[in-house]
């Protein structure tokens, strides 16, 4: 063939490959849904039809399917969710005596179609199961037996009709007046974990947990094709892309949404929304604001852009073309601060000053879940820290780098607070920082420690890991983790393996043969870290000084630390200690005596529970005590004067 013909063939092949590549889905697409739902805004009822096409991902024969019926968590006070939560979430309470506060979902009909063409009526054949506890009143999971087992790799189509009533919002989903946040609203198949997935040995198993007070969700990837019918005066936002909209003669409108390679589908409807649109590169950002919060729309958009840019730079590309941010009304704040694929809820209040960065924090946090939840679909029932902890760490990084490390959360009247330092404070100042490890089923964590153990402690030790390995290595770890595990279900072992791989490649054995010792303490263990610079003493020896610097390890965590010694002549020495013994004394002979010393001078060991005892000065400054004693006196005088005005 001539060179011209070769060129044509080459371009044809390149075109075919490129075209093929464009059709390669991003995810395994195991659970694909077609949903058709109508919302009755007066009765708060959802009437829906669902067609699920599910693929058996294993090499095993499957005899049953398991589904989540999340809305049944709100059926009555006896569900596991209600028993565990006491009818409240994040400070929002259910009105127990009001029937309208409750919600439920019923499957009206169910039928299976298999590739062989056989159909099987499953209506009434399923039963409620409680894989996590013995609460027979919990109806959030069903087991559906299949008389015709599903072979390896085979597909099954399930047709369902369902009816649901939305609860009044206090925990993520439901309605408040004419605001609807419709989440966890349809029968959703659990995750079948074949052998080798996460911690599963042979045989495979269904991972389909009940709805718990603190846990969130776990699902397989798929394509969602969802048709929503609502009254025409409602504005709607949803996961994915709006494909079509038609006005119906009965005063309703029907909108069709499509989302590919996502793990869930949520939507919102309200007559009150004010809509703001913007773009960041390939992403169309839509913000649905309450009218009284409209002046804060730009704050939401700016925060979303900051988060998009940061994650794009440090982890990887956001592969979707839309991002919808919902601002719930004050009465529906229970739906705020929640993440769904390409769709997040924020939360603010009227008149919030710019120096209180609540909307920015919530938007950045919830957007982060597009990575640690949606793109890396971890099991939030069993390893919530992989999602919330990592995301909290990134929230801190983004907030602190964007708005200032010591003022990113609050900067008002001289009162400045940073994001990462608040995460650290929430963990290190617990009454019992050693209460429990972060690792484990979320619903079995000690009461009231969910946030501390899944958000703040992991965020603090992630920042510590960052300090130990250095930011470039940390970024490489996270990028490797993201690229290798995106659109999959990673677990702790997968992450630790990547840490060990990247650290060994970049730092050799500087931190030991691997970093298992680190995770054994911070993730699987309850060790508490506290290093103290106990004493600095110098004794003259001839023309020189012999200085002794003593460091104590007050906690049971053992981490390598640096010690910086400053001498009177201005010189400094950086020393290293493996941090294992309960105490260590460095002895140095220098021309001048030691003036002060600091253990962990760069605060790499961020999980140290007391950073104030990390330094020792021969002549400690008295001025801070004087300044704050004067302030105390001043405020005592003010207090006296305020009371005196009563007379």
Q: Cβ of residue 401: shortest distance to other proteins, in angstroms?
A: 17
Strands 62-68 and 88-89: unpaired
Question: If binding is defined by CB under 8 A, does position 574 make contact with other proteins?
Answer: no
Binding residue count for other proteins, defined by CB under 8 A: 63
Q: Cβ of residue 565: shortest distance to other proteins, in angstroms?
A: 13
Q: Which of 91, 124, 414, 508 binds other proteins (CB under 8 A)?
A: 414
Q: Which of 20, 42, 124, 415 binds other proteins (CB under 8 A)?
A: 415
Quick one: which H or E segment has residue 276? strand 274-280
Q: Cβ of residue 433: shortest distance to other proteins, in angstroms?
A: 11
Q: Cβ of residue 564: shortest distance to other proteins, in angstroms?
A: 11
455 in catalytic set? yes
The interface with other proteins within residues 318-377 (CB under 8 A) comprises 329-331, 349-351
Residue 196 or 291: the one with the smaller Cβ distance to other proteins is 291
Question: If binding is defined by CB under 8 A, does position 570 make contact with other proteins?
Answer: no
Per the DSSP assignment, residues forming a β-bridge with 274 are 289
Residue 1 or 640: the one with the smaller Cβ distance to other proteins is 640
Strands 127-128 and 343-345: unpaired
Tell me whether residue 63 is annotated as binding. Answer: no
The interface with other proteins within residues 287-316 (CB under 8 A) comprises 290-293
What value does the CA radius of gyration of the chain take, rounded to a whole number of Å? 28
Q: Are 361 and 391 in contact (CB under 8 A)?
A: no
Question: If binding is defined by CB under 8 A, does position 547 make contact with other proteins?
Answer: no
The interface with other proteins within residues 607-636 (CB under 8 A) comprises 609-618, 620-636
Strands 283-289 and 322-326: parallel
Question: Which residues are CB-contacts of 7 (< 8 A; sequence separation ≥ 6)?
Answer: none
Residue 155: how many CA atoms within 13 Å on its side-chain side? Answer: 12
Residue 260 or 530: the one with the smaller Cβ distance to other proteins is 530
What is the distance in angstroms between the CA of the first residue and the CA of the last residue of the chain?
107
From residue 196, alpha-carbon distances to 59, 200, 205, 266, 386 in Å are 11, 6, 11, 30, 19
Q: Cβ of residue 283: shortest distance to other proteins, in angstroms?
A: 29
Strands 544-553 and 583-590: antiparallel
In whole angstroms, give the CA distance from residue 563 to residue 390: 29
Q: Cβ of residue 223: shortest distance to other proteins, in angstroms?
A: 38
Dmax over Cα atoms in the chain, in whole Å? Answer: 107
Which stretches of 311-384 are assigned E, i.e. beta strand? Answer: 322-326, 338-340, 343-345
Residue 429 or 493: the one with the smaller Cβ distance to other proteins is 429
Question: Which residues are CB-contacts of 544 (< 8 A; sequence separation ≥ 6)?
Answer: 589, 590, 591
Ramachandran sector of residue 78 (left: φ over 0; alpha: ψ -120 to 50; beta: rest): alpha
Ramachandran sector of residue 470 (left: φ over 0; alpha: ψ -120 to 50; beta: rest): left
From residue 122, alpha-carbon distances to 161, 164, 177, 275 in Å are 12, 19, 36, 43
Residue 11 or 634: the one with the smaller Cβ distance to other proteins is 634
Residue 434 or 626: the one with the smaller Cβ distance to other proteins is 626
Question: Which residues are CB-contacts of 524 (< 8 A; sequence separation ≥ 6)?
Answer: 437, 439
Q: Are 506 and 473 in contact (CB under 8 A)?
A: yes
Tell me whether residue 293 is annotated as binding. Answer: no
Question: If binding is defined by CB under 8 A, does position 422 make contact with other proteins?
Answer: yes
Question: If binding is defined by CB under 8 A, does position 204 make contact with other proteins?
Answer: no
Question: If binding is defined by CB under 8 A, does position 640 make contact with other proteins?
Answer: yes
Q: Cβ of residue 414: shortest distance to other proteins, in angstroms?
A: 5
The interface with other proteins within residues 427-446 (CB under 8 A) comprises 428-429
In the set 192, 218, 393, 455, the catalytic residue is: 455
Question: If binding is defined by CB under 8 A, does position 647 make contact with other proteins?
Answer: yes
Q: Cβ of residue 160: shortest distance to other proteins, in angstroms?
A: 37
The 584-603 site mask, x for binding other proteins (CB under 8 A), equals ------------x-x-----
Q: Which of 113, 416, 484, 546 binds other proteins (CB under 8 A)?
A: 416
Backbone angles phi, psi at 639, to 5 degrees: -60, -45
Residue 71 or 536: the one with the smaller Cβ distance to other proteins is 536
218 in catalytic set? no
User: Is the omega angle on the peptide bond into residue 203 within 30 degrees of 0, that is, cis?
Assistant: yes
408: which 2 tokens?
């990113």
- Chain centroid to CA 301: 20
Q: Which of 382, 421, 466, 600 binds other proteins (CB under 8 A)?
A: 421
The 115-144 site mask, x for binding other proteins (CB under 8 A), equals ------------------------------
Tell me whether residue 360 is annotated as binding. Answer: no
Residue 539 or 626: the one with the smaller Cβ distance to other proteins is 626
Residue 544 or 575: the one with the smaller Cβ distance to other proteins is 575
In the set 50, 366, 383, 395, the catalytic residue is: 366
**What are the start-end ranges of the H helices in 46-137?**
80-85
Binding site for other proteins (CB under 8 A): 290-293, 329-331, 349-351, 406, 413-418, 421-422, 424-425, 428-429, 596, 598, 609-618, 620-647
Binding site as annotated, residues for Zn(2+): 365, 369, 388
Active site residues per annotation: 366, 455
């Amino acid at each position: 063939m001539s060179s011209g013909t070769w060129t044509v063939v080459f371009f044809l092949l390149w075109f075919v490959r490129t075209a093929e590549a464009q059709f390669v889905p991003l995810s395994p697409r195991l659970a694909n849904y077609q949903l058709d739902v109508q919302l009755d805004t007066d009765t708060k009822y959802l009437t829906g039809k669902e067609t699920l096409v599910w693929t058996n991902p294993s090499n095993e024969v499957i005899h049953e399917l398991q589904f989540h019926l999340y809305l049944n968590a709100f059926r009555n006070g006896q569900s596991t969710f209600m028993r565990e939560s006491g009818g409240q979430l994040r400070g929002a309470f259910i009105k127990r005596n009001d029937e309208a506060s409750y919600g439920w979902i019923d499957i009206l009909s169910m039928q299976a179609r298999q590739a062989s063409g056989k159909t099987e009526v499953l209506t009434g054949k399923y039963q409620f199961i409680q894989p996590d506890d013995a609460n027979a009143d919990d109806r959030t999971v069903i087991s559906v037996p299949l008389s015709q087992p599903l072979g390896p790799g085979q597909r099954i189509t399930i047709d369902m009709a369902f009816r649901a009533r939305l609860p009044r919002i206090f925990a993520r989903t439901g309605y408040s007046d004419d605001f609807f946040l419709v989440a966890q609203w349809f029968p959703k198949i659990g995750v079948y974990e074949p052998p080798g997935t996460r911690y599963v040995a042979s045989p495979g198993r269904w991972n389909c947990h009940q709805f718990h007070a603190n846990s969130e969700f776990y699902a397989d990837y798929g394509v969602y094709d969802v048709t929503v019918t609502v009254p025409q005066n409602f504005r709607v936002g949803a996961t994915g892309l709006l494909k079509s909209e038609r006005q119906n003669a009965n005063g309703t409108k029907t909108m069709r949404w499509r989302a590919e390679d996502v793990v869930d589908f949520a939507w919102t409807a309200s007559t009150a929304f004010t809509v703001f649109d913007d773009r960041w590169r390939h992403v169309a950002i839509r913000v649905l604001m309450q009218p009284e919060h409209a002046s804060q729309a730009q704050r939401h958009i700016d925060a979303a852009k900051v988060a998009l840019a940061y994650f794009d730079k440090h982890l990887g590309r956001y592969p979707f073309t839309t991002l919808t941010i919902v601002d719930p009304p004050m009465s529906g704040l229970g739906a705020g601060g929640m993440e769904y694929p390409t769709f997040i809820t924020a939360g603010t209040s009227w008149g919030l000053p710019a120096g209180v960065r609540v909307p920015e924090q919530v938007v950045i946090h919830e957007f982060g879940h597009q990575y640690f939840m949606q793109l890396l679909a971890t099991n939030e029932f069993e390893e919530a820290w992989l999602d919330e902890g990592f995301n909290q760490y990134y929230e801190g990084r983004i907030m602190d780098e964007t708005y200032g490390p010591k003022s990113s959360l609050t900067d008002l009247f001289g009162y400045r607070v940073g994001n990462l330092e608040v995460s650290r404070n929430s963990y290190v100042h617990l009454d019992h920082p050693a209460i429990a490890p972060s690792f484990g089923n979320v619903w079995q964590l000690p009461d009231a420690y969910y946030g501390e153990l899944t958000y703040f402690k992991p965020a603090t030790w992630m920042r510590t890991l960052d300090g130990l390995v250095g930011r470039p290595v940390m970024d490489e770890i996270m990028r490797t983790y993201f690229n290798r595990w995106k659109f999959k279900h990673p677990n702790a072992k997968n992450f630790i393996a990547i840490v060990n791989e990247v650290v060994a490649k970049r730092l050799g054995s500087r931190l030991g043969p691997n970093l298992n010792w680190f995770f054994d303490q911070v993730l699987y263990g309850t060790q508490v870290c506290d290093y103290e610079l106990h004493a600095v003493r110098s004794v003259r020896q001839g023309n020189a000084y012999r200085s002794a610097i003593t460091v104590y390890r007050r906690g049971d965590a053992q981490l390598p630390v640096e010690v910086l010694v400053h001498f009177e002549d201005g010189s400094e020495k950086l020393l290293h200690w493996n941090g294992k013994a309960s105490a260590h004394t460095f002895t140095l002979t220098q021309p001048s005596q030691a003036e002060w010393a600091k253990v962990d001078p760069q605060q790499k060991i961020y999980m140290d529970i007391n950073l104030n005892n990390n330094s020792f000065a021969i002549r400690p400054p008295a001025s801070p005590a004087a300044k704050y004693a004067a302030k105390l006196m001043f405020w005592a005088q003010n207090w006296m004067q305020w009371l005196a005005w009563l007379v």
